[in-house]
Amino acid sequence: MNTINIGLFGFGTVGQGIYKVIGRAANAHAEIKRICVRNLSKPRTVEVPAGLLTDNENDILDDPSINLIVEVVDNAEASYRIVTSALKRGVPVVSGNKAMIARHLPELIELQRRYDTALLYDASSCGSIPVIRNLEEYYDNDLLLEVKGILNGSSNYILSRVFDHNEEYAAALERAQQLGFAESDPSFDIEGFDSLFKLIIITVHALGVYVSPEQIFTYGIATINSHDIRHAREKRMKIKLVAQVVKVSDERFTMFVMPEFVSPSKYIYSVDDEYNGVVIRGECYDRQFMFGKGAGALPTASSILSDVMARRHGYRYEYKKMGYMNRPAYSTDVVLRVYLRYTGRDYLDGIPFLNICEMHLSEDFNYVMGDIRLSDLLACREQLSDPRVFLANIPRFFLELDE
Ligand code: HSE
């Protein structure tokens, strides 16, 4: 590939960041030839030459001089249509759309094989942290035990403002939106789905197994209140929204997204604001920690630029681990220790705790701490989505080897 002629889809916060970053990257030999937007007359902070913008997808898809599509549209259906159309034409794509990728990854892998082309998406997970390519290439062995971390910048920003600066939750959320960290529908951030999509993608590259979103227990921070914050502070802990995929034996692994009590000795305790932090744990090397900005225009654009550069060298994901003979199987048959804050005397009746080790009842609120199967949490999803309830994981270790 000589010059990379980019067709860019999406010119919002991230798209404008890409425009700036590509313009500064002399060694990329890349040029943005056309930008497709939904609304041509929308005001934008970055000015572009007249004629660069179009609202017709085919102006890019049918242009034979465009040899790389960069797709950062804010709509999973449009993203799916654009990415699959490009791959079917044999044109490689760089995408940051985690919701779309997490839902369609098996098909997208098949399209890459069938049309002998590439889809790169390091920007989809953890903004500027190069987690996907590292898992794919460096951690290509049987030693990996766990990938766990803070994968969503907006919820982490909100929790940091609430915990460390005593700000109101709603004000912190509004600020996360103003700063361009949050999704256009911020419920994806605060209800844990953004972390879930990233975790699904990470798991494909960590263990070679695809698990679809509806099979995975996902709980966010939307219902956290001052009782939970005080409880965490009294125990000298913070609450963080944590996504994790962890081997529970040689044959099985589990994964889930949940708020978690984090003690000061943990790496992720100090990951604040819009930063993300990923702990990779393996046999032989214990823990490694990757830290960086997980949201925002330029951090995400830097990751897109890395994928653009990688395409210069013909790089593609090979999904080698998906072909390995001994892949662990996904399981929800594991016992977690959780904190559950609720109101009402009868609320706990339908929740099958295996045992309760601490209980607090008062006029204002109640909580229990106890053990419960992950499969039962999944089965009780509806009951747990009550706005008067908050659930958090109290971390424990699954393998004796761990600690
Ligand atoms: N809304 C996402 C976040 C953007 O807050 O992490 C980056 O994926």
pLDDT tens for each residue of 23-48: 999 999 999 999 999 999 888 899 99
Instruction: Say if residue 401's pLDDT is above 60.
Output: no
Instruction: Say if residue 400's pLDDT is above 50.
Output: no
Mutate which of 74, 155, 194 for ligand 1? The one with the most ligand atoms within 8 Å of its CB, which is 194
Distance of alpha carbon 143 from alpha carbon 284, whole angstroms: 7
* 398 pLDDT tier (thresholds 50, 70, 90): low
What separation in Å is there between the alpha carbon of 350 and the centre of ligand 1? 34
* 403 pLDDT tier (thresholds 50, 70, 90): very low
Which of 47, 84, 49 minimizes the C-alpha distance to 69? 84
Beta strand pairing call for 252-262 and 286-293 = unpaired
Q: Alpha-carbon Rg of the chain, whole angstroms?
A: 22
- Pick the catalytic residue from 33, 98, 148, 198: 198
3-state secondary structure of 400: helix
Phi, psi of 309 (to 5 degrees): -65, -40
What separation in Å is there between the alpha carbon of 98 and the centre of ligand 1? 10
- Ligand 1, pocket residues at CB < 6 Å: 127, 152-154, 181-183, 189, 194, 294-295
- Ligand 1 atom with least separation from CA of 176: 5
What separation in Å is there between the alpha carbon of 354 and the centre of ligand 1? 35
**For the purposes of burial, counting CB atoms within 10 Å of the CB of 48, is it exposed (0-12), middle (13-18) or buried (19 or more)?**
middle
| Torsion (CA) 147, 192, 290, 112 in degrees, nearest 10 | 70
Give nearest CA residue, ligand 1 atom 4. 295
List strand residue ranges (DSSP E) for 10-160, in order.
30-36, 53-54, 68-71, 93-95, 119-120, 144-150
Give nearest CA residue, ligand 1 atom 8. 295
- 320 as an active site residue: the answer is no
- Ligand 1 atom with least separation from CA of 295: 7
- Tens of pLDDT, residue by residue over 279-301, are 999 999 999 999 999 989 999 99
Cross-strand pairs, 337: 371, 394
